[in-house]
Amino acid sequence: MNKIPSVNLADFLSNDPIRKEKFINEIGHAYENIGFVALKGHFLDEALVENLYQEIKNFFDLPVAVKEKYEIPGIGGQRGYVSFGKESAKGRKEGDLKEFWHFGQYVDKASKYAEEYPENVTVEELARFNEVGKQTYQMLEKTAKYVLRSLSLHLGLDETYFDNFIKNGNSILRPIHYPPIETEPKGAERAAAHGDINLITLLMGAQGKGLQVQNHKGEWIDAVAAPDELMINVGDMLSRHSNNKLKSTIHRVTNPPKEMWGTSRYSIPFFLHPISAMKLDVLENCIDEANPKKYEDITAGDFLNQRLKELGLKK
């Protein structure tokens, strides 16, 4: 494949079995071949997207000393602010040229997950920042549920197979700021080549070129979503669970041409994670003589901790 396929969630949500089957086949084929789709028909409206971009620009424009008071030690960067250059791709020493924020799951205080998950961090200087972040988080989580339902059917599972695993899951909404580049980066990129850890990632229309996806021939393809589309890719957890039937594709965010170094770039991925107790054991119906079991059994929580250590976010 030399371009990212586009699908429309309205087909899956329709009462027309032919349209629903078409969506399942299209997204299944895309995820078996390149691991990315551009999705129309999601639950984010234009006003919410505009509000969120404005709020995250407001946050990243705050003085560094103000932002740093929201960097919480001891939680592996799971909530609040992560300062510039702290995260690096697996196997890379150079920190990525970015700073970011994490919104996490919203659970009732009485929930058993309230003890497991750090609390979300409130930005005192911006009255609407947290509320807009929460609304976006919940709309992306809702969209992700239906994408996974389509993939459940594609894999020959019950349609709601993933529902209870992602309810109260350890998902993360990550607004990212790639600041202007001031000096020649020595081996560092805005985001070095990597695969995502989670089940699926939903990326809100990143502004302009930069995101690239590696196809099976090793070629880098520009992945640019239309303004009304989300770019959605398979993460390592789902790839592992499906015995690599669904592909977790290596992708990166390249540095801009030198004439564009003076500009910021913003990007807002939503990393859909399950609850930590979910078993990522390879699904029996993804194993056959031609495709023997490729991975050892592991829970989502243990897999996440392994990967956070590799990224330098946990010790």
Q: Which domain holds residue 180?
A: 6-310
- Domain-located, residue 198: yes
pLDDT digits (tens, 9 = 90+) for 86-119: 554 455 445 567 899 999 999 988 889 998 999 9
Check: CB of residue 157 under 8 Å from CB of residue 143. Answer: no
List the beta bridge partners of residue 272. Answer: 200
Tell me the two tokens of residue 256.
């801009």
The CATH number for 51's domain is 2.60.120.330
Torsion of CA 251, 139, 27, 152, to 10 degrees: 110
pLDDT digits (tens, 9 = 90+) for 1-53: 567 899 999 999 999 999 999 999 999 999 998 889 999 999 999 999 999 99
- Domain-located, residue 84: yes
- Domain-located, residue 303: yes
- Domain-located, residue 249: yes
User: Considering the entire predicted model, what is its pTM?
Assistant: 0.89
Quote the DSSP letter at residue 284.
G
The count of structural domains within the chain is 1
Look at residues 179, 44, 170, 189 and name the one whose alpha carbon lies nearest to residue 100. Answer: 179
- Domain-located, residue 151: yes
pLDDT digits (tens, 9 = 90+) for 251-269: 887 766 676 677 788 889 9
- Domain-located, residue 315: no
- Domain-located, residue 35: yes
